[in-house]
Structure 1
Amino acid sequence: MPIYMDRHDIPDEIKPEHVAKMHQEDLKVQHLYGCKGMTYWCDSERHTAFCLIEAPNKEAIQKMHNHAHGEFPHQIIEVDAHLVESFLGRIEDPEKAEDQELNIIDDPAFRVIMVIEASNFLNRLEGKQLSIFTQKFHQSASKAFEKYEGNIVRENDKSYLVSFNSVSNAVICALKIQSKFKYSYPKIDSEHKRLKIGLCPGLPVTDKEGIFSEAVYLATQMCELMKDEIIVTASIKALYENENRNAIIDNEVIRILTPREEKFLLRLVEFCESTWNSSDFNLTQMSKSLGNSTSQIYRKLKKLTGKAPSVFMREYRLHKALELIHQQKGNIAEIAFETGFNSAGYFTKCFHDKYGILPSKYARLV
């Protein structure tokens, strides 16, 4: 049976004990609707509560809540139990204290989401060289996650998705991993040896489908598109400095993405996703879609990505081509035209200039 998570936006006067009572009322009537309440999270500071429920469908959950206490959820998404546990650390109620009649769970579902992406030089290292580097990289990262209480949600040879309860731990962990990375393989040209780390705050259920989807999406775009090595949102900066009253985030080491830049980045990605496979890109079209003048677009793109619009769009397409090669979605010529290049030869040149390897050779390595 599917598992769902719902979000309740609770008024200021609703305390954790009230949420615990509502959970108990759900358990009393859940059998009438084929549901099973697994657990919940309550965040009195952010006025949110999240329920994890096994149910036949979303409608059954709504009916159960209505019968039990009349509090309809504001959003319901289907989730994977393994992902829930990876992000939040549990999928059942914590053990109740012996002297406690009601199991009051004052446990926020707020998390700091970390995305780590190593540059594609990892894919160009062959055999023993790749093995040695990735071993060093993963050992260093794993030690840092363990020390700073980060839960690994997903990983592969060159990337991680990690969840943290503590903003301070997430920021310090990012600094530690970046520092270790730079010295882990000194013979590799620093131009090709780059690690990007993005940090975003997040809640598990938003208006988007998928658990923590908004935070994961933004952190990923920060890593993939921005020029800086460690990027955090303005809200991460505020939370960190609130937790550490005698410390501030060093803007020379960590890039702070302002709310205005965050909105621009998301609009930019939306535009790119709708145009990356078209060969008709031009700056005027981008300017019109994003609601900025061409000079503003140029200035904002250079500040965020370090690239002019035409270069940025070309490299965005090359990144898409990289994904299509991994997915074996056609031969090199087909992928070149699919990603908006008018010539397979020009695509091959651009790919080699960007990644230092011919796309045909790269295809044989993946």
Structure 2
Amino acid sequence: MPIFMDRHDVSENVTAAHVAQLHQQDLKIQDQFGCRGLTYWFDEDRKMAFCLIEAPSKKNIIAMHNTAHGEVPNQIIEVNAQVVESFLGRIKDPVSETDDHLTIIDDSAFRFIMAVGFIIGEVGDRYGPMEERGLLTCMQTLGGIIANFDGTIASQEKDYFLVSFQSVSQAVLCALELYSTFETWAENAPCERGHLKIGISAGVPVEGERPFFEDVIEQARNLFFIASEHIVVSHEIKRLYKQESLNTFVDESLFLVLSPTEEKFLTLLMNYMEEAWQNPNLQVEDLGKNLGYSKSQLYRNIVRLTEMSPNAFIKNYRLNQAIDKIGKKAGQIAEIAYETGFNSPSYFAKCFHERYGMSPSEYQHRSFS
């Protein structure tokens, strides 16, 4: 039977005790609707409740809530129980409940999501291509640091983690520790050839019909993508950190804090690039036209966020896609060149060598030797 998470935006006078009572009312009649209430989360500050329910359909959940207490959800999405547990830490009530004992769960589902990992360094950097063994060692060590700050690795890709934190302070301080540790490693093996990148976002698991934590994950990945010499964070991260820390922020020289306007621009930019990057005829003018920005606005925003020109950004985006495809053995070098929007394999090889200091075939050989 599928599992769903629903979202209730409650009124200001609703407390954790009220939500606990509503949960108990659901449990008493859930069998009538073929449902099984697994657990819930309640955010006192944001006045949001999220229920995790096993049910035949969304309609059954709405009917159960409506019959039990009349508080129907604002949104419902289908979720994967393992993914929920990896980001939120549990998929059942912390303590078993009985009809004669009310267990109040005052546990927010708001999370701080960090994307952290390594990329291949550019030629001319002090970093060069990272060996697979060195990358694995570094990722394992970073995992230990993350655990020290109560972070949970929710998912792992080849070169980055998605980490879930309940506390903004823990997320920010963990980022600083990771940054400091990597700077120390940069002069020693095995991590001297990697380039550490960190992006941090925040939000709730259900936003409209979007998949579980999709908005937050997407933003964290976007921030990770543009990260270079700074830890890149959303404006909400800085605001909430200052709220917890007597209106002060950490060493801002290490951070790039995006404004709401910049966050909107970055989302538009990355969404469009995801659709258009394979088009060999893609021009800078196309970016401005489709994003609704003038040429000068586009240039200023891209340079501010990525420290590169729009043309260089497009090429860099394509090279990132290409090196991922090579690493996944997703075709011959010439095929990958065309698939990633380059007009010819020779131009692709030239751009690849300029960035990574080796040819695509050399990189392929190192990756699988």
**TM-score of the superposed pair, with normalisation by structure 2:** 0.91
Equivalent-residue separation in structure 2 for 1:192 and 1:251 (angstroms): 26
Residue 49 of structure 2: aligned partner:
49
Distance 1:157 1:150 in 2: 19
- Looking at structure 2, the residues matched to 14 and 61 of structure 1 have their Cα atoms a distance apart, in angstroms, of 21
Greater CA drift, 116-125 or 350-359: 116-125
Contact 1:194 1:229 in 2 (8 A): no
- 1:34 to 1:361, Cα distance in 2 relative to 1, 3 A: farther
Whether 1:112 aligns to 2:112 is yes
Supply the distance in 2 between the matched residues of 1:7 and 1:286 (Cα, whole angstroms).
Answer: 36
Instruction: Describe the SS at the equivalent of 1:252.
Output: helix
Paired residue for 1:24?
24
Instruction: Tell me the secondary structure at the aligned position of residue 153 of structure 2.
Output: strand
Contact kept? 1:199, 1:231, Cα under 8 Å: yes
Distance 1:17-1:272 versus aligned 2 partners, 3 A rule: same
Q: 1:343 maps to what in 2?
A: 344
Change (3 A) 1:352 1:208: farther
Which residue is 1:303 aligned to?
A: 304
Q: Tell me the distance in 2 between the aligned counterparts of 1:283 and 1:315.
A: 13
**Cα 1:245/1:44, change in 2 over 3 Å:** same
Structure 2 equivalent of residue 2 of structure 1: 2
Deviation at 1:185, TM superposition (A): 4.3
Mapping of residues 1-366 of structure 1, within 5 Å: 1-95=1-95, 101-121=101-121, 124-126=129-131, 130-132=132-134, 134-139=136-141, 141-156=142-157, 158-187=159-188, 193-245=194-246, 247-364=248-365, 365=367
For the Cα contact (< 8 Å) 2:138–2:190, is it kept in 1?
no
| TM-score normalised according to structure 1 size | 0.92
Q: Following TM superposition, by how much is the alpha carbon of 1:158 offset from its aligned partner in structure 2, in angstroms?
A: 2.9
Cα pair 1:3 1:79 within 8 Å, conserved: yes
Structure-1 separation of matches of 2:163 and 2:214: 13
In structure 2, C-alpha distance between the alignment counterparts of 1:159 and 1:290, rounded to whole Å: 28
Uncovered stretches (5+) of structure 1, i.e. residues with no partner = none
User: What number of residue pairs does the alignment pair up?
Assistant: 361
- Provide the secondary structure at the position in 2 that maps to 1:311: helix
SS in 2 for 1:264: helix
Does the 8 Å CA contact 2:130/2:193 hold for their aligned counterparts? no
Three-state SS of the structure 2 residue aligned to 1:131 is helix
**3-state DSSP of counterpart to 2:282:** coil
Q: Kindly provide the CA deviation profile for residues 20-78 of structure 1, in whole angstroms up to 9, marking residues without a partner as x.
A: 11111111221122211000001121010000111122222122222222222111122
Please state how far the C-alpha of 1:189 moved relative to its aligned partner: 11
Cα offset, 1:229, TM superposition: 2.8
Note closer, same or farther for the CA distance 1:245–1:22 as it changes in structure 2 (3 Å cut): same
User: SS at the partner of 1:277?
Assistant: coil
Q: Deviations over 1:94-146 (max 9, x none)?
A: 12699x831111111111111102122599444xxx4355324422x233222
Distance 1:209 1:154, change over 3 A: same
- Aligned-pair CA distance for 1:7: 0.8
Per-residue deviation, residues 195-227 of structure 1 (Å, max 9, x unmatched): 111111111111253221111110111111243
| CA contact 1:276–1:313 (8 Å) conserved in 2 | yes
Percent identity over the alignment is 43
- Which region of structure 1 is more displaced relative to structure 2, 147-156 or 183-192? 183-192
- Unaligned runs of at least 5 residues, structure 2: 122-126
